[in-house]
Amino acid sequence: MENQVLTPHVYWAQRHRELYLRVELSDVQNPAISITENVLHFKAQGHGAKGDNVYEFHLEFLDLVKPEPIYKLTQRQVNITVQKKVSQWWERLTKQEKRPLFLAPDFDRWLDESDAEMELRAKEEERLNKLRLESEGSPETLASLRKGYLFMYNLVQFLGFSWIFVNLTVRFFILGKESFYDTFHSVADMMYFCQMLAVVETINAAIGVTKSPVMPSLIQLLGRNFILFIIFGTMEEMQNKAVVFFVFYLWSIIEIFRYPFYMLACLDMDWKVLTWLRYTVWIPTYPLGCLAEAVSVIQSIPVFNETGRFSFTLPYPVKIKVRFSFFLQIYLIMLFLGCHGAGHRSWVFCLQSGWLNFHLQCHQ
């Protein structure tokens, strides 16, 4: 007597691109699953409705599928995934219109066509978003890169101005007042480097890397570089004057507190002592720095008049000689107005933020 062929219970569902089959057999090992001529062949030893036996079935699909089924074994069932060759919705699973008795819908995974289309669109949007994030970088990655870049910039500036400050301090304690007159030749190269690098701060503000306003950063950059490159850099007579020491020293004092404050901000850290020093030291050193810059400009006026450097004569018929000292005098007026306005704003800020009150409490 020919043995009866046992078929397991099979449940199916679909999406536009895939078919899902769930075979109700437990304890299955090494099943034979293949697709030939668009027909799925299944044969396996397992525990089903008729006990522990060999079960098999064959399904001819309604439309073309890819001949590489993917299956996953669990303790209670066999899950098979079949890829459609064309992404479309099928009206049924099998080519024959009459549904096989062992086949039934898998209501755990069942979706109608409209729901499946919504799911497909959601997956497509998710895929596109993932590709976009991979190409642009995630917001967290960009924020980390931005913080790392700003931290390294502030670190380099801090090290540069610290070197200047320590160098000037040590030279003063060793040489006394004699160190004033050789300041430029001792630290000018490092000051040139730091001030040229400071262009990055203005660029960062302009392109939105930092939230700092552009104009204050640009005014400080142009003002310092005018003193460094024009007043000191082009006139050897100015390089041996004591005022160079005070200008460089005051600049470095401001920056050795400012840049560490920004470094900690990049790490989302707040050291209250440093914050207090950053805003308190700035109050006297900024106007003193402006005063030292003004003294350097005043001392350079007779030097520029004597050498005639950067002076020019207007063309005919005016033929008036315009001395560079005229522009220096205008610069002095602008320096005074800028220093007065910035100083007033700094005191208002300190009063509003409580830093001045804290400063006064510490001395009571």
Buried b (16+ CB within 10 A) or exposed e, 12-34: bbbbeeebbbbbbbeebeebebe
The two tokens of residue 212 are 């700092």
Q: Pseudo-torsion of CA 329, 333, 336, 339, nearest 10°?
A: -110
The SS3 call for residue 40 is strand
Label the pairing between strands 51-60 and 32-36. Answer: unpaired
Picking from 103, 63, 99, the residue whose alpha carbon sits closest to that of residue 84 is 63
Residues sharing a CB contact under 8 Å with residue 47, sequence separation 6 or more, in sequence order:
25, 26, 27
Label the pairing between strands 103-105 and 10-14. Answer: parallel
Number of helices followed by number of strands (H, E) in the chain: 10, 10
Query: Which of the following is catalytic: 255, 286, 306, 316?
Result: 286
- CA-angle at 265, arms to 133 and 275, nearest 5°: 165
Phi, psi at residue 168, to the nearest 5°?
Answer: -65, -40
292: number of Cβ within 10 Å: 21
Give catalytic status of residue 293 as yes or no.
Answer: yes
The two tokens of residue 321 are 């000689």
Picking from 263, 275, 293, the residue whose alpha carbon sits closest to that of residue 355 is 275
Query: Which of the following is catalytic: 91, 293, 306, 316?
Result: 293
SS3 content of the chain, % helix, strand, coil (to 5): 60, 15, 25
How many angstroms separate the CA atoms of 349 and 201, rounded?
A: 22
* Residues labelled catalytic: 286, 293
